A and B are shown apart, each in its own frame.
Chain A
Amino acid sequence: MSAATIGKYAAFARISATQASRERNELYGRMAFFAVILGVFSSLWRAVAEAGMPVAADPKSLVWYLAATEWILLSAPPIHIEIQAAIRRGDVVYRLGHPVSYALAEFATGFGLLAVRAPFLGLTAFLCAFAFTGWTPPLTALLMVVPFGFVASTLITALYLGIGLLAFWLQDVAPVFWVWQKLMFVLGGLMLPLELYPAFIQRAAAFTPFPWLLAAPASVVLGTHPVTPGALTRHLVIWSGVTAIAVSWVFRRAVSTVTINGG
């Protein structure tokens, strides 16, 4: 890829980041939602522990675990919604007519949004989790969660891109997204570490990318059976490759059979 080509996609990321920084309300909404979620779950884990019910980890580290998984998930912009809207409105004709790859341009646009959201939501996660627990995980754990979480969030953005491209056939990708979201919830270990799930779910999750997107980077803060950076890197690279191949196949199929809405 030449410097000029990289410059094109960097320009998409830049303009998207500029737009995101001007549309602050959505970001503030996400930050507020994040604070509420962490507040509710920190109370829940505390109540569970005080009731003497068995919890696999310390309630404080569970709150930090949730802060990490939610940070990864909420930072990834749901670009499938905008892609679907552009396909339904027919605006996609402009981007398909530009001398760029539509899929890469959309991904770069999503990355620009992610680059704005991640720092703000990360700060929210840190401050809220600290406020609700009065404790922080070791610095080494946090230093590992941040880069791996950002990469995982980027990979989730790429998966949203793949879901969005399905709108070329389906027009409405909401059902696909719902299925994806539920799988993320369960197999990704969004609310609870996978160790707390039945063994068959843990075995099933091992064959999917979901645990490597949420549970694995976030479980570093639990301090129990932490995943090694090498294993995390290896799996994120593998799933990034699989995602890239799948999305580019979907995109090639889409443009070869594309029909554009509206005259």
Chain B
Amino acid sequence: MPRAAAVELNQLSKSFRVRRARGTGVAARLRDLFSGDTQTVSAVDKLSFSIAPGERVAFIGPNGAGKSTTLKMLAGILRPDAGDVRVLGLVPSRQRRQLAFQIGTVFGQRSQLWYQLPPRDTFELLGRVYEIDAREHRRRIDALSSVFALGTLVNTPVRHLSLGERMRCEIVASLLHSPRMLFLDEPTIGLDVSAKAMIRELLWTESEREHVTLLLTSHDTGDMERVCTRAIVINHGRLLWDGPIAALRRSYLKAKRVTLWSDAEHLELTLPGVRVLSSGAYRTELEVALEITPLGPVVDAALRQTAIRDMAIEDAPLDEVIRAVYATAARGGVPS
């Protein structure tokens, strides 16, 4: 028997009414004071996808694509204008409180910790809010504090914590009630490299350990690659791509990056589909369009000129892959 989806969206839509600005100048501004002229902006437009229990999905899109609006509809905070949405079998807008017991949310730019108090106080409050048995709650705080290496941080006022430390506490706060689904909105925003790496590792581990379904929005492709296995790309509230991250690369990566370290100081490669990205002494970086010229002839051509001491072949960064998805959609192409 097939397992029920953790998240199921069908033709989900949401639009907002915003005031229409008339322009600049005193007269226009005076008219703005008395005018109720508004326009409707579509934030999410007939969006459909489903997520299986335990999946870790990156929800990708540029600013204003509709990611956060979708997340807030999934959490039951916003009501959809049209379409159906079910999370863990519940309708979020109608069953928000029941759903709240089963989901956790982390909003990277927001905080649920009480600023003047140590995180432990917020954890205790959340234990009451989520009606967790006191003994079980203490055990859970200790366990998560250990996994997230909080140590003495749980007893340090939040205002004294670094952003990375605070974010670890925010995630622990969101996991205290053992949610089956975790929505993360930019969880690593503003963090330094090591803090990001730690958060990603912890999210991945916790998801594996407790079989928590993750839906993560981020502009940081590192978050997506290290935490998620599947990507859903949207823009202007519409679905552009849905599939494994590896398939996203394969579909959009028509080029590889090749770096050659040679005995000769400079290499001259003028093959079709090969572009020199940078050229320094004994080091040449190329972008090779594989549909035009495979890698073999490129390497052969280099070897004909000089001995090759070392070579690196890389995919383009995921950033570029995602830009390619947006560009294809903007040209009216259908992402494959």
Contacts and interface: CB of A to CB of B under 8 A. Distances in A.
Contacts of B100: 97-99
B105 A93 contact: yes
A203 interface: no
Contacts of A256: 79
| Majority-rule SS of A interface residues | helix
Given A23-B116, A93-B110, A260 B72 contact: yes
A91 B115 CA distance: 13
A18 B129 contact: no
Nearest to B100: A99
Nearest to A14: B125
A94 B129 CA distance: 12
B109 to A, nearest CB: 7
Contacts of B112: 91, 94-95
A81 interface: no
Given A91-B110, A91-B111, A97-B75, A263 B131 contact: no
Nearest to A23: B116
A260 B79 CA distance: 11
Contact of B122 (A15, A93, A260): A15
B125 A15 contact: yes
Contacts of B275: none
A258 interface: yes
A90 interface: yes
Given A98-B100, A259-B16, A260-B72, A93 B77 contact: yes
Contacts of B68: 260, 262-263
B67 interface: yes
Contact of B129 (A93, A99, A258): A99
A90 B109 contact: yes
B128 A8 contact: yes
12 contacts: A4-B131, A8-B129, A10-B128, A15-B125, A18-B121, A23-B116, A93-B107, A94-B110, A99-B97, A260-B68, A260-B72, A262-B109
Interface of B: 16, 63-64, 67-69, 72, 75-79, 96-98, 100-101, 103, 105, 107, 109-112, 114, 116-117, 121-122, 124-125, 128-131
The 8 tightest CB contacts between A and B, nearest first, are A11-B128, A99-B100, A94-B112, A263-B68, A99-B97, A91-B110, A96-B77, A15-B125
